[in-house]
Amino acid sequence: MLTIGQVAERSGVPHTALRFYEDRGLITSVRTAGNQRRYLRSVLRRLAFIRTAQRVGLTLEDVRDALAQLPDNRTPTKSDWERLSRSWKSELDARIDALYRLRDRLTGCIGCGCLSLRSCALQNIDDEQASHGPGAPKLKPAVEGGTA
Amino acid sequence: MLTIGQVAERSGVPHTALRFYEDRGLITSVRTAGNQRRYLRSVLRRLAFIRTAQRVGLTLEDVRDALAQLPDNRTPTKSDWERLSRSWKSELDARIDALYRLRDRLTGCIGCGCLSLRSCALQNIDDEQASHGPGAPKLKPAVEGGTA
DNA sequence: GCTTGACCTCCAGCTTGGTCGAGGTTGAAG
DNA sequence: CTTCAACCTCGACCAAGCTGGAGGTCAAGC
């Protein structure tokens, strides 16, 4: 069992954030007789997962909901992971896709002669994300007349 | 020239957010004699760009810094885009990579028989650090978009 | 058994990315 | 010329995701 300080050091996640995550239900701990937190080593795995997910733009709530599908008290089974995976895969795929388009649009624009943006991919971004992600309000299909 | 209401409708970005973005220097407008905002059509392109970038976890500041490289008052040239592209590509690549790892970790776990997590990729996220002894290196210091 | 640093709770405050409403102005249609 | 939706500014407020401090407790070393 690890103390909060040990977890903080090993994971690089500040102890303040660890308490915050616990408060939000992303991680759990048990308490000593003296009311101090003690963590299973598996919390490090969760934390790595949380931080990675956050870095790519998922909210703590997204992560919490996903992790809620995993058992706290036992090693996740194959079907535990399957469920988590299924529920996340399409979201992750969508994000990967969005990133690709964002990147390729940039580099693509160089090739496509953006001096006249008329036929440029960037032009057409607006219609793609019609309904995505809770955090990001949507861009409606814009009526791109002719002049840009 | 478009009014703020027209831009809001076409882009799907609320007018409140439009003023907010202008305040933060992400978009610009000109004013009528009566002090009302008028936008170039190109603002729609910027907005689509902003929303996409946000969706994949970049901050408004990241976006602002990137867009600051593009001219406000003329169509971006090839070299404008080249500069923007260069400065973003590695960041986007890193995020794509992170997403892949996150996704593949999930699906990988299904294949690898996570009933025993021993050899699982997820397992090794933290063990790498743990096994580096007492002064263990940290997880990625987390979130924020500083490296853009 | 005393010290000291790591721990506890609670709460205020910060940043980001906005929304909402009050109170006033503009501008195009009738 | 009136009307009224759409616009303006400004400041309060919101939620997420934290940080930091105050004031108190625990536990390991001397």
CB contacts < 8 Å between A and B, how many?
A: 207
Domain count across chain B: 2
Nucleotide nearest B34, from its CA to each C1' = C26
B138 within domain boundaries: yes
10 Å Cβ neighbour count for B47? 26
Round to whole Å and give the CA distance between B41 and A52: 37
Both tokens of A10, joined, read 């090993």
pTM of the model: 0.73
Q: How far is A141 from chain B (nearest CA, A)?
A: 7
pLDDT tens digits along B109-147: 444 444 334 444 444 444 333 333 333 334 433 333 333
Our CA angle for A116, A95, A124, nearest 5°, is 20
B104 and B39 within one domain: no
pLDDT of residue B10: 95
**SS3 label, residue A52:** helix
The beta-carbon neighbor of A55 closest among B57, B84, B122 is B57
Residue A112 (CA) to nucleotide D18 (C1'), in angstroms, measures: 43
Same domain? For B104 and B66 the reply is no
Specify whether B60 is located in the same domain as B93.
no
Q: Is residue B81 part of a domain?
A: no
Residues A69 and A19 in one domain: yes
Same domain membership, residue B92 and residue B70:
no
The gap between B50 CA and C20 C1' (Å) is 23
Residue B127: name the closest of A48, A8, A51, A80 by CA: A48
Is A141 among the domain residues? yes
- Look at strands A30-31 and A37-38 and give their pairing: antiparallel
For residue A31, the model assigns a pLDDT of 95
Is A64 found in the same domain as A29? yes
Which domain does B55 fall in, by range? Answer: 1-76
How many angstroms separate the CA of residue A87 from the nearest CA in chain B?
A: 10
Residues B50-102: pLDDT tens digits?
A: 998 888 888 999 899 888 877 665 666 667 667 777 777 888 888 888 888 77
